[in-house]
């Protein structure tokens, strides 16, 4: 296929992966990220999966997959904090921040544009047009929606079926330097720890520091507490202390001290003492809403969806980044193999829609057993 004018909406890992492979294939690529400040520093840790390793190899970033913290075993705690079960299954968590920064360095500077919020996409047989919040427009042979759970590209492609479905629970999250974890919670270090009871599921593990630091004392402790929430109270739940409502999450710094104190009291009444200490040590917890979405269509005439824009999968799977990487590689491969864009897009959808539905279903099963 001849080189295309490709515009990517969304500058997180899915968008960057696509940008790198497509620019190397000779296409005219630009990535538009709505955040004016960029996305560096927004992640914690992630578990590497096969497609992530494959795309890192294609990009030439194999070394990133080797920068991580190993949890030597998995333990399940009882309510009193005793180890009820131990499983010797070592697992390495790599740093999202380090991964993002390293991969992003392979994008040519002028191809990644910050502060460009897309508000509409117009799809035609002769190309697509992106309409931005500032009133400007950009045309392309192909627009790729890598804009995540709130995708505007998804909405343009599936105007009747673009809404996410709330799964009935949220993930409270904490991320802190390991030195802040009290000594009474030291059992949580060097291992993957879990506590599961009816309607509540807590887990925690070490991740590298923001720049990939793995030495003791330089790492971070990451905890997650899944809790059920009524859907009719979500708007209020995701409203921050300044009165601003967020659609799918509440970022760090948005929680009032009163709500933080309530969280700590709930932890003391529910969790093992080690997790109680971990929750209390986090000054600025965040909240991630858990949602499901499966795109009825992944492609249009000049549009394609990748990552969470196409299929939102629950975090229990630890497969979100890997699935996005698989989407990107499949799309780049069909664009190289086929003679025309419509044929390539149809083939991409056939290959990846099945994968997306399978991973989404797997996440729902895990969620049902976890809560």
For residue 129, the domain's CATH number is 3.50.50.60
Residue 52 domain flag: no
What is the count of structural domains for the chain?
2
Q: Where are the beta strands (DSSP E) in 198-301?
A: 200-207, 220-228, 249-250, 286-294
Say if residue 221 is in the same domain as residue 91: yes
What is the pTM (predicted TM-score) of this model? 0.94
Residue 59 domain flag: no
pLDDT (tens digit per residue) in 292-323: 999 999 999 999 999 999 999 999 999 999 99
pLDDT band at residue 40 under the 50/70/90 scheme? low
The boundaries of the domain holding residue 188 are: 64-95+165-290
Question: Taking the chain, what is the end-to-end CA distance rounded to the nearest angstrom?
Answer: 48
Boundary (domain end) residue, out of 290, 319, 335:
290
Say if residue 305 is in the same domain as residue 326: yes
Classify residue 243 as exposed, middle or buried by CB count within 10 Å of its CB (0-12, 13-18, 19+): exposed
pLDDT (tens digit per residue) in 252-286: 999 999 999 999 999 999 999 999 999 999 999 99
Average pLDDT over the chain, rounded to whole? 94
pLDDT (tens digit per residue) in 231-256: 888 988 999 999 999 999 999 999 99
Between the CA atoms of 250, 256, 258 and 264, what dihedral angle is there, to the nearest 10 degrees? 50
C-alpha to C-alpha distance for 32 and 12, rounded to whole angstroms: 10
| Exposure b/e, 142-162, CB count within 10 A at least 16 = b | bbbbbbbbbbbbbbbbbeeeb
Say if residue 20 is in the same domain as residue 118: yes
pLDDT (tens digit per residue) in 325-338: 999 999 999 999 99
Residue 19 domain flag: yes
* HSE-CB of 91 using CA atoms within 13 angstroms: 20
Indicate the SS3 state at residue 154. Answer: helix
pLDDT (tens digit per residue) in 86-114: 999 999 998 888 899 999 999 987 899 99
**Angle in degrees, 0-180, between the axes of helices 50-59 and 320-337, rounded to the nearest 10:** 50
Nearest to 144 by CA among 350, 309, 285, 358: 309
Between the CA atoms of 64, 68, 72 and 74, what dihedral angle is there, to the nearest 10 degrees? -100
Q: In this structure, what are the phi and psi dihedrals at residue 71, rounded to the nearest 5 degrees? A: -90, 115
- Beta bridge partners of residue 60, listed in sequence order: none
Please state, for a pLDDT cut of 90, what percent of the chain lies above it: 85
């Amino acid at each position: 296929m001849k080189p295309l004018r490709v515009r990517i909406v969304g500058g997180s890992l899915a968008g960057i992966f696509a940008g790198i492979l497509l620019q190397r294939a000779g296409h005219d690529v630009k990535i538009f990220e709505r955040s004016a400040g960029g996305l560096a520093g927004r992640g914690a840790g992630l578990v590497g999966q096969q497609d992530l390793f494959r795309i890192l190899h294609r990009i030439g970033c194999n070394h990133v997959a080797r920068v991580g913290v190993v949890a030597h075993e998995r333990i399940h705690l009882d309510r009193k904090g005793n180890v009820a079960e131990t499983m010797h299954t070592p697992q390495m968590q790599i740093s999202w921040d380090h991964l993002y920064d390293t991969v992003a360095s392979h994008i040519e500077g002028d191809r990644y544009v910050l502060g460009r919020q897309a508000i509409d996409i117009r799809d035609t047989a002769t190309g697509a047009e992106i309409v931005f919040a500032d009133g400007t427009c950009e045309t392309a042979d192909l627009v790729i929606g890598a804009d995540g759970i709130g995708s505007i590209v998804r909405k343009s492609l599936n105007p009747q079926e673009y809404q996410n479905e709330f799964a009935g629970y949220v993930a409270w999250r904490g991320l802190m330097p390991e030195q802040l974890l009290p000594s009474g919670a030291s059992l949580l270090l060097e291992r993957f720890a879990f506590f599961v009871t009816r309607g509540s599921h807590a887990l925690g593990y070490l991740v590298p520091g923001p720049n990939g630091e793995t030495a003791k004392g330089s790492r971070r402790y990451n905890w997650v507490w899944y809790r059920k929430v009524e859907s009719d109270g979500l708007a209020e739940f995701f409203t921050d202390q300044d009165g601003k409502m967020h659609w799918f999450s509440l970022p760090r710094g948005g929680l009032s001290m009163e709500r933080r104190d309530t969280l700590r009291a709930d932890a003391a009444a529910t969790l093992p003492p080690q997790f109680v200490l971990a929750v209390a040590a986090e000054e600025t917890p965040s909240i991630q809403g858990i949602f499901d979405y499966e795109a009825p269509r992944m492609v249009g005439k000049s549009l394609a969806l990748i990552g969470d824009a196409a299929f939102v999968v629950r975090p229990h799977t630890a497969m979100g980044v890997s699935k996005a990487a698989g989407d990107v590689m499949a799309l780049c491969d069909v664009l190289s193999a086929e003679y025309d864009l419509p044929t390539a897009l149809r083939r991409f959808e056939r290959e990846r829609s099945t994968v997306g539905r399978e991973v989404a279903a797997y996440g729902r099963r895990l969620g049902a057993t976890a809560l």
